Structure 1
Amino acid sequence: MSLSPDGTRLARITVMGEERSMVISEIATGRLLATSTVGVTKVRNLEWINNDRLLATVSVAQSIPVFNIPKSEWALGLVFDVPTRTFKQILNSTRGVAPMLASDPQIRTSAQGEGIYVRAFSVTGSGHVDLLRVNPANAYGQLSAPMLYTTEDFVLDASGTVIAKSFYDDRRRWALLLQDGRASTYTTRWLVEAPLDAPALRGMGTTERSIIVEARRDDLPADPRDPGSNLFQVDVDTAEWTRLPFTRQPESLIHHPVTGLLIGGARMSDQGMTYEFIDPAAATRWAAILRAFPDKSPVLVSWSDNLHQVLVLTGGDRSSGVYQLVDFDRRAADIVGEAYPTIGPAQVGEVRPVSYKAADGLEIHGYLTLPPQVSDPRGLPLVVLPHGGPQANDDGGFYWLAQAIASRGYAVLQPNFRGSTGYGQAFVEAGYGEWGRKMQTDLSDGVRYLAGEGIVDPRRVCIVGASYGGYAALAGATLDPDVYRCAVSIAGVSDLRRMVGWTAQQAGRRDTVSVRYWNRFMGADGLGDRSLDARSPSRLADKVTIPILLIHGRDDTVVPIEQSRMMINAMREAGKPGARLVEMPGEDHWLSRGGTRLAALEETVAFLEANNPAH
Structure 2
Amino acid sequence: MESMHNRSKGMRLLKGMLLVTMLVLGFNAGAREVPIQDFFKDAEFTALSLSPDGKHMAVTVPQEDRTVLAVLRVADKGVVGKWDFGPDRHFRQVYWVNNDRLLFTVTFKTGRFDFETSKGDMYASNIDGTQRIDIPNGAYYNIVSLTPEDPRTILVERSVETSYLSKLDIYNGRLVTVATAPVEQGSFLVDHERNPRYVWGAMNDGTNVTYRRDGDKWTQVHRSERNGATYRPIGFAGDNRHVYMAKGVDGKPESIVLLDSETREEEQLSSNGTVSPSALLWSSDRKTLLGVQYEDGIPYWDWIARDHPETLAYAGLVKAFPGKAISFLRPSDDGRFLAMRVYSDQQPPEAFLFDRQAGKASFLTGSMEWIKPAEMSQMKPISFKARDGLELHGFVTIPAGSNGKNLPLIINPHGGPHGPRDEWGFNPEVQLLANRGYAVLQVNYRGSGGYGNAFEGLGYRKWGTVMQDDLTDAVKWAVAQGIADPKRVCIYGASYGGYAALMSAVREPDLYQCTVGYVGVYDLDAQRSSDIGDHEAGRNYLKDVYPPTKAERVAQSPAYGVDRLKAPVMLVHGAKDQRVPIKNMNFLIDQMGKVGKQPEVVVVESKEGHGFRDVQNNVNLYTKMLAFFDKHIGPGATSAPAGSP
Q: Which residue of 1 aligns with 2:142?
A: 104
Q: Name the structure, 1 or 2, with higher relative contact order (CA <8 Å, separation 6+).
A: 2
The answer as to whether partners of 2:478 and 2:484 remain within 8 angstroms in 1 is yes
1:334 pairs with 2:381: no
CA distance in 1, matches of 2:624, 2:177: 49
Q: Are the structure 2 counterparts of residues 167 and 429 from structure 1 closer, same or farther at C-alpha, using a change threshold of 3 Å? A: closer
Q: Which residue of 2 aligns with 1:59?
A: 107
Cα deviation, 1:57-112, whole Å, max 9, x if unaligned, reads 332169xxxxxxxx954453233422x324735413xxxxxx24224334421664
CA distance in 2, matches of 1:121, 1:539: 40
CA distance in 2, matches of 1:529, 1:239: 51
The answer as to whether partners of 1:497 and 1:530 remain within 8 angstroms in 2 is no
Cα deviation, 1:293-320, whole Å, max 9, x if unaligned, reads 1111222244222333222222348322
Aligned length: 577
CA distance in 1, matches of 2:259, 2:576: 41
Secondary structure at the counterpart of residue 576 of structure 1? coil
CA distance in 1, matches of 2:159, 2:497: 34
CA distance in 2, matches of 1:540, 1:301: 48
Secondary structure at the counterpart of residue 463 of structure 2? coil
Q: Which amino acid aligns with 1:206?
A: A
CA distance in 2, matches of 1:27, 1:534: 57
1:534 pairs with 2:561: no
The answer as to whether partners of 2:410 and 2:438 remain within 8 angstroms in 1 is yes
Task: Summarize the alignment of residues 416-565 of structure 1 with structure 2, pairs less than 5 Å apart.
Answer: 416-423=444-451, 427-428=455-456, 431=459, 434-496=462-524, 499=527, 505-508=533-536, 512=540, 514-519=541-546, 524=547, 527-528=548-549, 530-553=551-574, 556=577, 558-565=579-586
Per-residue deviation, 1:537: 0.7
Task: Summarize the alignment of residues 248-287 of structure 1 with structure 2, pairs less than 5 Å apart.
Answer: 248=272, 249-256=276-283, 258-259=285-286, 262-278=289-305, 280-287=308-315
Cα deviation, 1:433-460, whole Å, max 9, x if unaligned, reads 5433333233233333333444332222
The answer as to whether partners of 1:491 and 1:553 remain within 8 angstroms in 2 is yes
Per-residue deviation, 1:131: 3.5
Q: Which residue of 2 aligns with 1:67?
A: none
Task: After superposing the two structures, state which structure 1 stretch, 394-403 or 199-208, moved more.
Answer: 199-208
Q: Are the structure 2 counterparts of residues 230 and 496 from structure 1 closer, same or farther at C-alpha, using a change threshold of 3 Å? A: farther
Q: Which residue of 1 aligns with 2:61?
A: 14
CA distance in 2, matches of 1:365, 1:171: 30
Q: Which amino acid aligns with 1:575?
A: G
Per-residue deviation, 1:202: 4.4
Secondary structure at the counterpart of residue 145 of structure 1? strand
Q: Are the structure 2 counterparts of residues 242 and 528 from structure 1 closer, same or farther at C-alpha, using a change threshold of 3 Å? A: same
Q: Are the structure 2 counterparts of residues 299 and 134 from structure 1 closer, same or farther at C-alpha, using a change threshold of 3 Å? A: same
Secondary structure at the counterpart of residue 61 of structure 2? strand
Q: Which amino acid aligns with 1:91?
A: I
Q: Which residue of 2 aligns with 1:81?
A: 126
The answer as to whether partners of 2:97 and 2:151 remain within 8 angstroms in 1 is no
Q: Which residue of 1 aligns with 2:153?
A: 115
Q: Which residue of 2 aligns with 1:132?
A: 166
The answer as to whether partners of 1:553 and 1:584 remain within 8 angstroms in 2 is yes
Q: Which amino acid aligns with 1:12?
A: V
Secondary structure at the counterpart of residue 533 of structure 1? helix
Q: Which residue of 2 aligns with 1:155?
A: 189
Per-residue deviation, 1:612: 3.8
Q: Which residue of 1 aligns with 2:211?
A: 177
1:164 pairs with 2:211: no
Q: Which residue of 1 aligns with 2:337?
A: 309
The answer as to whether partners of 1:495 and 1:537 remain within 8 angstroms in 2 is yes
CA distance in 2, matches of 1:3, 1:121: 29
The answer as to whether partners of 1:110 and 1:160 remain within 8 angstroms in 2 is no
CA distance in 1, matches of 2:289, 2:243: 9
The answer as to whether partners of 1:18 and 1:594 remain within 8 angstroms in 2 is no
**Candidates 590, 593, 598, aligned match of 1:572:** 593
CA distance in 2, matches of 1:143, 1:272: 40
Per-residue deviation, 1:52: 1.9
Q: Are the structure 2 counterparts of residues 260 and 518 from structure 1 closer, same or farther at C-alpha, using a change threshold of 3 Å? A: farther
Cα deviation, 1:145-169, whole Å, max 9, x if unaligned, reads 3467735332233454422225766
CA distance in 1, matches of 2:421, 2:532: 26
Task: After superposing the two structures, state which structure 1 stretch, 326-335 or 136-145, moved more.
Answer: 136-145
Cα deviation, 1:529-580, whole Å, max 9, x if unaligned, reads 5223222211112222223233344565554444334323322333321255
Task: After superposing the two structures, state which structure 1 stretch, 570-579 or 191-200, moved more.
Answer: 191-200
The answer as to whether partners of 2:227 and 2:457 remain within 8 angstroms in 1 is no
Q: Are the structure 2 counterparts of residues 545 and 416 from structure 1 closer, same or farther at C-alpha, using a change threshold of 3 Å? A: same
Per-residue deviation, 1:500: 5.6
User: What is the TM-score with the length of structure 2 in the denominator?
Assistant: 0.77
What RMSD, in angstroms, separates the aligned Cα atoms of the two structures? Answer: 3.7
The answer as to whether partners of 2:200 and 2:210 remain within 8 angstroms in 1 is yes
Q: Which residue of 2 aligns with 1:205?
A: 236
Secondary structure at the counterpart of residue 10 of structure 1? strand
Secondary structure at the counterpart of residue 347 of structure 2? coil
CA distance in 1, matches of 2:143, 2:617: 29
The answer as to whether partners of 1:253 and 1:264 remain within 8 angstroms in 2 is yes
Task: Summarize the alignment of residues 209-248 of structure 1 with structure 2, pairs less than 5 Å apart.
Answer: 209=241, 211=243, 214=246, 229=254, 233=258, 238=262, 240=264, 242-248=266-272
User: What is the TM-score with the length of structure 1 in the denominator?
Assistant: 0.81
Q: Which residue of 2 aligns with 1:96?
A: none
Q: Which residue of 1 aligns with 2:45?
A: none
Q: Which amino acid aligns with 2:474?
A: G
The answer as to whether partners of 2:204 and 2:536 remain within 8 angstroms in 1 is no
Q: Are the structure 2 counterparts of residues 167 and 321 from structure 1 closer, same or farther at C-alpha, using a change threshold of 3 Å? A: closer
The answer as to whether partners of 1:486 and 1:546 remain within 8 angstroms in 2 is yes
1:384 pairs with 2:411: yes
CA distance in 2, matches of 1:413, 1:608: 15
1:324 pairs with 2:348: no
Secondary structure at the counterpart of residue 295 of structure 1? coil
Q: Are the structure 2 counterparts of residues 172 and 297 from structure 1 closer, same or farther at C-alpha, using a change threshold of 3 Å? A: closer
**Candidates 379, 394, 408, aligned match of 1:351:** 379
Q: Which amino acid aligns with 2:97?
A: I
Secondary structure at the counterpart of residue 307 of structure 1? coil
The answer as to whether partners of 1:189 and 1:239 remain within 8 angstroms in 2 is no
Q: Which amino acid aligns with 2:407?
A: L
The answer as to whether partners of 2:98 and 2:151 remain within 8 angstroms in 1 is no
Q: Are the structure 2 counterparts of residues 433 and 343 from structure 1 closer, same or farther at C-alpha, using a change threshold of 3 Å? A: same
CA distance in 1, matches of 2:207, 2:448: 27
The answer as to whether partners of 1:314 and 1:324 remain within 8 angstroms in 2 is yes
CA distance in 2, matches of 1:130, 1:423: 30
Q: Which amino acid aligns with 2:55?
A: T
CA distance in 2, matches of 1:52, 1:72: 29
The unaligned stretches of length 5 or more in structure 2 are 1-47, 111-115, 637-645
Per-residue deviation, 1:338: 1.2
CA distance in 1, matches of 2:614, 2:227: 34
Secondary structure at the counterpart of residue 513 of structure 2? coil
Q: Which residue of 2 aligns with 1:48?
A: 96
Q: Are the structure 2 counterparts of residues 475 and 171 from structure 1 closer, same or farther at C-alpha, using a change threshold of 3 Å? A: closer
Identity %: 27
The answer as to whether partners of 2:51 and 2:96 remain within 8 angstroms in 1 is yes
Q: Which residue of 1 aligns with 2:640?
A: none
The unaligned stretches of length 5 or more in structure 1 are 63-70, 93-98
Q: Are the structure 2 counterparts of residues 477 and 44 from structure 1 closer, same or farther at C-alpha, using a change threshold of 3 Å? A: farther
